[in-house]
Amino acid sequence: MENKNHTPHKNAQQHQMNWFQQFLMVCSGANLHILRKSPSEWNKYAGIGGIVLFTAVFATLSASYAMYTVFENEFTAVGFGILWGLMIFNLDRYIVSSIKKTGTFWNQFFMAVPRLILATFLGIVISKPLELKIFEKEVNKQLNTIIQRNKTELQKTMNGRILQQSGPFAEEKSQIQKQIAAKQTSLDSATVELEKEILGKQTGLTSGKVGFGSNAKRKQELKEQRKKDLEDYQKQMQPRLKYLDEQISGVYKNLQTEQKNSEKAENKFDGFAARLQALSELGDTNKIMALASFFIMMMFITLEISPVLVKLISSVGPYDYLLDKTENDYRLYSKEKIEKGNFATDFRIEDFKNSLGKKNNKENEL
């Protein structure tokens, strides 16, 4: 009579498990067949399954955003995000389902430690892309600051390279120009002295007599000589100056092209790693940002490790006993089958030995 009365009650409990509960229990990694026999455990495992499910959803969103910053393609980002979310979902299910409640607390704790470490790492991985999305405006502003800073450093580097590469050519050009300037100064000095000599102005180098006399004639010859020296030197150095100008211009042109290409690359400095750098710098300079980022990361770490913690701190329930009994039954069954197989093998070997012995005896009698 007890079995008949208990069966309808059991069936009624089973009918109360709707499809959504079943789905969440599957997400928890529990054995649904065994869990049906433990209605008091349904809410616990449905809750664990819900956490695992939402962790996978957040992982999908996080990976999708991270991949979009890399590939800038919605389909690629969503596809990779779903793949990553499914992997996290499957990994979380395994982590939770692998914790057995039978045994001492310390055995359970040491079994849970590596799973907690793994869950913590996954929480950090999931949280970072979502932090970037949450602080997107601040990160974009900091990215512009980093880009401008990099451009300034690039300009300094280019200026240094220009001086380094064009230095020998510029130095030689400067020496030639100094020589030209010196010869021009000498010519100007001779021209002034000639004018003073003709006008009769008394100086240490003029006679003080008005007119074009013998002194003026000598000064005229000196002027013409210095003019000729200047013109000859300019004519001689013109090809060299042209060559030096071409070399200096080539250095400027090449480095300006390189600088433009580098600046184009800097303008595209908005990838995932660049955004992480911007977020890190914001945290270093802004304590509020650092605190907010820390709490967001801790929130996702807590979310990730909560199924393991719930499984760890919860008391042993009917499901755990039934699961342990089922596994133990399979262990005993497997051990029994192995022992029977060993016994049958030993029996056949012994029978073969007896048959072989009888055969040898008959041959010996013959």
Please report which residue ranges of the chain form alpha helices under DSSP H.
2-15, 19-27, 32-35, 42-71, 74-97, 105-134, 136-199, 214-267, 272-285, 287-313, 318-365
Altogether, the residues listed in the chain come to a count of 366
Phi, psi at 228, each rounded to 5°: -65, -40
- Token pair, residue 40, equals 């008091």
Q: What is the DSSP string of 233-299?
A: HHHHHHHHHHHHHHHHHHHHHHHHHHHHHHHHHHHT--SHHHHHHHHHHHHHH-HHHHHHHHHHHHH
Q: What pLDDT is recorded for position 4?
A: 44
Give the pLDDT score at 82: 93
Closest CA to 21 of 32, 9, 10, 11: 32
For residues 167 and 139, what is the distance between their CA atoms, to the nearest angstrom?
A: 41
Per-10-residue mean pLDDT of the chain, 366 residues long, equals 43 62 88 85 87 87 82 86 89 81 72 80 81 85 84 79 76 86 86 74 64 73 85 86 83 77 68 81 85 85 80 77 79 80 76 68 62
- Provide CB contacts within 8 A for 99, sequence distance 6+: 108, 111, 112, 115, 308, 311, 312
Return the pLDDT at 93: 86
Note the pLDDT of residue 12.
39
**pLDDT computed for residue 210 by the predictor:** 67
The distance in angstroms from the start CA to the end CA of the chain is 74
